[in-house]
Amino acid sequence: MNRLLFLLVVLSILGCSDSNTEWRVYGGTGQNDHYSSLKEVDTSNVSQLAVAWEYHTGDADTARHSQIQCNPIIVNGVLYGTTPTLKLFALDAASGQRKWEFDPDSASKKNPVHAIVNFGMNNIRGVTYWENGSDKRILYAAGSFLYAVDAMKGNPVRSFGDSGKLDLHNGLGSDVKDLYVAATSPGIIYKDLFILGSRVDEGPAAAPGHIRAFDVRTGALKWIFHTIPQPGEYGYDTWEDSIAYKHIGGANSWSGFSLDAARGILFAPTGSASFDFYGGRRKGSDLFANCLLALDAGTGKRRWHFQFIHHDVWDRDLPTPPVLVTLHKDGRSIDAVAQPTKHGMVYVFERETGKPVYPIEEIAVDTANALPGEKIWPTQPIASLPKPFVRQTFTAADLNPYLDDTSKASLAKELAGYRYGKMFMPPGKQTMIEFPGLDGGAEWGGPSFDPATGLLYVNANEMGWKMTMVDRKPAPVTKETVVQAGQRLYTQYCMSCHGSDRKGSGNNPALLNIQTRYKTDEIAQLVKSGRRMMPAFAHVSDKEREAIIAYVMELVAEKNKLFIADKKPVDTFRNLPYAATGYYKFLKNGYPAIKPPWGTLTAIDLNTGGHAWKTTLGEYPELKARGVPPTGTENYGGSVVTAGGLLFIAAARDGKIRAYNKRSGKLLWEHALPAPGFATPSVYRSGGKQYIVIACGGGKLGTVSGDSYVAFALPGRK
C-alpha cells in the first residue's frame, strides 16, 4: 500500500474531513452544484433516517414572522450558521452542541437601536469561510455591515476593516449613505479576495448594485465592477439618458456567485434596474441589468455577458447563481454554465466564451398598451432548449378546477377584466396577470446538478401574480394635513409592498392596526433603517417620515395639523409618474387561481435538453383529504443531490423535508419539520457518519416561525 493510499484509509477511519465530505461553501462548492459525493445514505436505507440532533437558536420572533434561510457550511467538523436575528454561531457538526455565538448587535453598540432594527429581522442565506494557516475566518453580512469573525473563537478580527467590520455603503462611488445596502447571499473567495454582491431597494431610491472585491485580510477594496456602466465603459451607450448612471440603482448581484477557480472566472447574475415596473427614466436595453456576467475574478474585468431580459419592467431578476457543469453533446465534452430564470427556462453557455450551447432566438414581444413615457424593448431572448420547466402561458381554461361553482364563476368574471395569457405584456393601469409569477419559476434556492447523470434539478413555483399601475399623486399646491400628506407619501414609497389598502401584498406584511404592535419611535426607526425585505428610507425627510407614521398608525391628533414640507430640490429621476399598487398573488379562496401544479420539481437532462422526470413538490393536507390529486405548493430553498442516488429538499410550505430517487423522481422518504425549511439542506460527514441538516425557520407564506436546525442521520452508525 503506497503512502497516499494509506493516508486516505487512515483519514476515512478517523472520520477526518476533506473537501468531499464537507460542505465548505454556500451551495456545496464554488460551482454551486449542490452535490455531495457521500453515499452512506442511499436509496436502500434512506427510509431509516432519523433526527440525530436539533439546535435551537432561541431568538425566533413568531409575531413578526422571523425566518432562517441559511444554507450552513461545515468545515473541519464545525457547522457555521445564522439565527433569525442574524447572530453567527458555530456548532460541533456531529452533536449539534454550540461552540460559540457572535452577536452583531453587541458589535454595534454605538447605535444599538439601529443595529436591532437593521439586523434583527433581515435574512441572509449563508456565510463564507477563509483560512491561511492558523488564521481562520468567517465573513458574513448582517444588515449594512460586513463582518470578519475568528472561526475558532467567535471574536471579531480587529485587523479587518474598522475593528472587524465594513460599512457596505462605502466604495460604491456615489452618495448612497442614506440608501438601503445590504447582502442577503454570501460572498465567495478567490485566492485572497472576498467578492460580494448586494441587496438594494427595488424602488426609485435604489443604490447601484456594483460588484466589489475586498482584501480578505484587511477589508481594503481591490476592484469594483460597475453594473450600471459609467462614461467610457462598455455598455454605457445602452442607456439612452447619458446621466442615468448617476441616478438609477439596482442591477445588483443579490443571489450570489459561482466560480471557476481553475480558469479564474467569476459568474455573477444580476437583477433588474430600478424602478422594477416602469422604465421611463432608464430607456434602452439597460446593461448590465438582468445579465449573467463572466468576470475575471482577479481583476473584475468583463470577459463576456448575456442579457436575459432587455429593459426589464417585470422584476425578472436572475434569482440564483448559475451552476457550472460538464455536459456531453454532439460527441463533445463541454464545460458549461447553466442559468435558470424566473420565467422558467435554463440557458446554457460555454464557460470560456459565452457561446450558447443550444440556440437562443430573439422573439418579438407585445409593446402595445405601455404606459405613457415608457419604451418597451421590442424583443426578448428565448432558449430553444432545454425545455421550459414551468408553463409559459395560460388561458381561461386553466383556472383552478377544484373550486366550488360559485367561486369558479366569480373567478372567471374577475379574470375577464384583466390582461393575461402570455409573457412580456407591459405593465399598465389595467391589471395584468404576470405569469410565471414574480417569485418564479426558479427562485433563490437554486438548482442542484448530478455529474454522474448530467441531470439538473430545479424546483419552481407555478403561480400568477396581479400587477396594476396607478398615477402617483404629486404634492398638492393647496395646503394638506399631516395625515393627508402621509397618505400621499405612503402611495409613493410604501404602497407597492404593503398594498393600497395596507393589507400587505406578496410576502410583505399588513400594516393595519400596526399601532397595536409597535410604538411610534419604533416605527420611525424602522422606516429610517429598514428591516428584512423592507429597504431603509433614510433619504425621506423627518417631516415626511412623521407624516407617513401618522397615516399608518392612524394618529388622531395629526388629522387636523397642517403639513409643512421640508424644502428640498425635486429629484426628477425618483419622483416617477406611476406606482405599483402592490405585489398581489392571483389567488381564490386562499389557493392559486390557476390549475395545479403550483410547486414542481423537474429533472432536466442538460445533454439533450429534455426532461427526465417532473413531479409536484409539497401538498395541502386539506385538499389531499378531499381527494384532490397532488398539487404542489409555493416553495423557497434549494435541493441537494448525492452520490447515494438521492435528492433531498424541504422548501415547501407544508413543512416537510423529502428524499427522492434522483433517477426516477420517486418519493422515498419524508419527515415533518418543527417549522418549514425555507432553506437549502447541507450534506456532510462528521465523526464517521453522514448527516443531512436543514434550517427550520418558517415565517414565510404566513407559516409559523421556527428557531432550529435539524440534522438527520442513520441510527446506530459510527
CA distance 698 to 653: 8
Ranges of H-type helices in 28-174 = 112-120
Q: How does residue 486 score in pLDDT terms, banded at 50, 70 and 90?
A: confident
| Burial of residue 290, with CB atoms counted within 10 A of its CB: 0-12 exposed, 13-18 middle, 19 or more buried | buried
- What does the pLDDT look like over 225-253, one tens digit per residue? 999 999 999 999 999 999 999 999 999 99
Q: How does residue 117 score in pLDDT terms, banded at 50, 70 and 90?
A: very low
Parallel/antiparallel/unpaired status of strands 448-450 and 591-592: unpaired
Count other C-beta atoms under 10 Å from residue 384's C-beta: 12
Among 590, 589, 611, 591, which residue's Cα sits nearest to residue 602? 611
Mean pLDDT of 611-632: 98
CA distance 320 to 519: 37
Mean pLDDT of 347-366: 98
Chain-centre distance for alpha carbon 649: 17
What average pLDDT is seen over the chain? Answer: 91
CA distance 662 to 340: 19
Mean pLDDT of 291-315: 98
Predicted local distance difference test score (pLDDT) of residue 523: 76
Contacts of 111 (CB under 8 A, 6+ apart): none
CA distance 55 to 77: 16
Predicted local distance difference test score (pLDDT) of residue 111: 41
- What does the pLDDT look like over 667-688, one tens digit per residue? 999 999 999 999 999 999 999 9
- What does the pLDDT look like over 209-231, one tens digit per residue? 999 999 999 999 999 999 999 99
Please identify which residue in the block is written with the cell numbers 449542490.
34
| Burial of residue 615, with CB atoms counted within 10 A of its CB: 0-12 exposed, 13-18 middle, 19 or more buried | middle
DSSP states of 464-498: -EEE-EEEPPPPPSS--BHHHHHHHHHHHHTHHHH
- The alpha carbon torsion through 702, 464, 652, 256 (nearest 10 deg) reads -100
Burial of 176-203, coded b for 16+ CB within 10 Å and e otherwise, reads beebbbbbbbbbbbbeebbbbbbbbbbb
- What does the pLDDT look like over 315-335, one tens digit per residue? 999 999 999 999 999 999 999
CA distance 338 to 326: 10
Among 493, 577, 488, 555, which residue's Cα sits nearest to residue 530? 493
CA atoms within 13 A of residue 131's CA, in its CB half-sphere: 10
Mean pLDDT of 408-419: 97
- What does the pLDDT look like over 575-618, one tens digit per residue? 899 999 989 999 999 999 999 999 999 999 999 999 999 999 99
Q: Which helix (H) or strand (E) holds 324?
A: strand 323-329
Mean pLDDT of 410-417: 97
- What does the pLDDT look like over 168-185, one tens digit per residue? 999 998 789 888 899 999
Predicted local distance difference test score (pLDDT) of residue 13: 34
Domains of the chain in start order, with CATH, are 35-64+636-718 (no CATH), 70-167 (2.40.10.480), 473-575 (1.10.760.10)
How is residue 11 written as a grid cell?
A: 483519514
- What does the pLDDT look like over 30-73, one tens digit per residue? 999 999 999 999 999 999 999 999 999 999 998 888 999 999 99
How is residue 251 written as a grid cell?
A: 442591477
Mean pLDDT of 308-319: 98
549 near 541, Cβ under 8 Å? no
CA distance 98 to 95: 9
Above 80 in pLDDT, residue 534?
no
CA distance 408 to 427: 26
Least confidently predicted of 193-202, 464-473, 495-504, 533-542: 533-542
Predicted local distance difference test score (pLDDT) of residue 81: 98
- What does the pLDDT look like over 573-584, one tens digit per residue? 778 999 999 899
Mean pLDDT of 287-308: 98
CA distance 315 to 678: 21
How far the first Cα of the chain sits from its last, in Å, is: 25
Report angle CA 660, 76, 267 to the nearest 5 degrees: 65
Mean pLDDT of 80-97: 97
Above 90 in pLDDT, residue 120?
no
